[in-house]
């Protein structure tokens, strides 16, 4: 609907000329198989292999016919003279439209998969580079316990891995065509013709079609793209949050000459991540339309047709755009380990509260008593600016129960993060791998 978020690869795949080329490929392949089986004259099939179309001519024909496929076949038939009567012989519109759409969807998946692979590499690079860069982990937006920034990036890497698998599976789901006629019952041509045609197009026959390929396949496709979009939004939202002035741990790349605000020269806004967030909402909304398209009247109606001209090309295009933009953000991401450490230290080390509580339980204190005691001390830290180690040291009950080795264990940041390497090994991401 807008070219603002087009990528060159998707623009080339989803324009009108590419659509008609894919239709013509199906028509030519059908004619070739029909000639081999003696259904149409071989000289007619040879002529159809040289067929072409003119978009301007199709547009003029459609003004009269109000039917885009008939307008297309008229233009194609005109280009081959008397052999034109064998163009679209025994076919219905969606034998061509749906089969060609599957071809383009499979190609679009390949484009997105390549881009997602690049994003995966950037997430892996950050995860390895910051494997031991400590930062505060947050739950409910509040300081919880420390993690490493690499571990956060590792979760992005692993979700991207899952999305790569989902996209590959959805591509296989769409690798189906149909040449089964007006109601899917092969009334004019048999399944043998369909099998030969689709084999040459590197597609599989839809096991049981109506006049269309069942739309649950397209819903799976749109769901896979929506999941990619949701994953990108998760990364984008995290970067946006961590770029907030009060946190300041990350920053989007900011190019020379870039402006953050028309009014405030000091601004550096996370506009790319905000754009990804915005577009992700649209791709997820398109998934809902795809689900609505599953239910058609009887063997086919047109209630899916108009919206699919929008939702399928745009879902692929926007997803590809967002993946490429996020890859650029991660490639140039500003990471501030000093700010991460400062934020850790700002909490008065209350993030050690669980470790202290467990040490007290190990030393013999009732767990509920230990929880209440450490909670009281932690809340005091938040009010008067003292640190949890200081208050624990001054508390007679704790100092009596916890000896120096126990206190050292309780307040050891490296010990809290000691199992990070194990997570990396579990997902198979190491510096050598």
Rounded Cα distance, 308 and 97, in Å:
12
SS (H, E, C) the chain: CCCCCCCHHHHHHHCHHHHHHHHHHHHHHHHHHHHHCCCCCHHHHHHHHCCCCCHHHHHHHHHHHCCHHHHHHHHHHHHCHHHHHHCCCCCCHHHHHHHHHHHHHHHHHHHHHHHHHHHHHHHHHHHHHCCCCEEEEEECCEEEEEEEHHHHHHHHHHHHHHHHHHHHHHHHHCCEECCCCCCCCCCCCCHHHHHHHHHHCCCEECCCCCCCCCCHHHHHHHHHHHHHHHHHHHHHHHHHHHHCCCCCCEECCCCCCCCCCCCCCCCCCCHHHHHHHHHHHHHHHHHHHHHHCCCCCCCCCCCCHHHHHHHHHHHHHHHHHHHHHHHHHHHCCEECHHHHHHHHHCCCCHHHHHHHHHHHHHCCCCHHHHHHHHHHHHHHHHHHCCCHHHHHHHCHHHHHHCCHHHHHHHCCHHHHCCCHHHHHHHHCCCCCC
Of 52, 67, 132, 261, which one is the catalytic site residue?
Answer: 261
User: Taking the CA of residue 234 as centre, how many other CA atoms within 13 Å lie in the half-sphere pointing to its CB?
Assistant: 14
- Which residues is 250 bridged to in the sheet? 335
Record the tokens describing residue 354, joined without a space: 């669980």
Q: How far is CA 227 from CA 126, 163, 240, in A?
A: 22, 7, 20
Compute and round to an integer the Cα radius of gyration of the chain: 30
22 catalytic per annotation: no
Contact 233, 135 (CB under 8 A): no
261 catalytic per annotation: yes
Of 140, 262, 266, 298, which one is the catalytic site residue?
Answer: 140
Contact 203, 177 (CB under 8 A): yes
Q: Which residues are known to be catalytic?
A: 140, 261
């Amino acid at each position: 609907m807008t070219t603002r978020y087009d990528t060159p690869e998707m623009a080339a795949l989803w324009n009108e000329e590419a659509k008609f080329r894919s239709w013509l490929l199906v028509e030519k392949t059908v004619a070739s198989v029909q000639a081999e089986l003696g259904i149409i004259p071989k000289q007619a099939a040879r002529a159809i292999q040289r067929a072409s179309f003119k978009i301007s001519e199709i547009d003029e024909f459609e003004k009269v016919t109000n039917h885009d496929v008939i307008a297309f076949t008229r233009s194609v038939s005109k280009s081959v003279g008397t052999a034109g009567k064998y163009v679209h012989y025994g076919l219905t519109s969606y034998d061509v439209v749906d089969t060609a759409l599957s071809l383009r969807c499979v190609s679009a998946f390949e484009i997105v998969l390549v881009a997602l692979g690049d994003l995966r590499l950037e997430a892996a690079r950050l995860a390895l580079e910051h494997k031991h860069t400590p930062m505060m982990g947050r739950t409910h937006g509040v300081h919880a316990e420390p993690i490493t920034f690499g571990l956060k990036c590792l979760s992005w890497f692993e979700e991207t891995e899952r999305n790569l698998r989902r996209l590959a599976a959805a591509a296989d789901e769409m690798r189906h065509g149909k040449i089964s006629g007006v109601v899917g019952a092969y009334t004019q041509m048999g399944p043998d013709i369909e099998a030969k045609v689709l084999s040459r197009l590197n597609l599989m026959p839809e096991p049981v079609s109506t006049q269309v390929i069942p739309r649950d396949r397209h819903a799976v496709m749109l769901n896979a793209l929506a999941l990619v979009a949701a994953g990108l939004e998760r990364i984008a939202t995290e970067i946006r949050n961590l770029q907030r002035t009060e946190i300041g741990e990350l920053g989007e790349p900011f190019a020379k000459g870039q402006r953050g605000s028309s009014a405030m020269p000091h601004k550096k806004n996370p506009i790319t991540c905000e754009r990804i967030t915005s577009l992700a909402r649209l791709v997820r909304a398109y998934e809902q339309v795809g689900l609505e398209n599953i239910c058609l009247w009887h063997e086919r109606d047109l209630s899916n047709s108009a919206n699919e001209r929008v939702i399928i090309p745009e879902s692929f295009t926007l997803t590809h755009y967002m993946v490429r933009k996020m890859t650029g953000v991660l490639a140039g991401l500003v990471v501030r380990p000093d700010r991460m450490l400062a934020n850790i230290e700002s909490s008065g080390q209350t993030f050690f509260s669980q470790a202290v509580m467990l040490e007290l339980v190990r030393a013999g204190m009732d767990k509920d008593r230990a929880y209440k005691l450490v909670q009281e001390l932690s809340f005091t830290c938040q009010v008067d600016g003292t640190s949890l180690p200081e208050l624990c040291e001054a508390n007679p009950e704790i100092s009596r129960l916890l000896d120096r080795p126990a206190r050292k264990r309780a307040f050891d940041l490296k010990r809290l993060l000691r199992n990070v390497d194990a997570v990396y090994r579990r997902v198979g991401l190491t510096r050598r791998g």
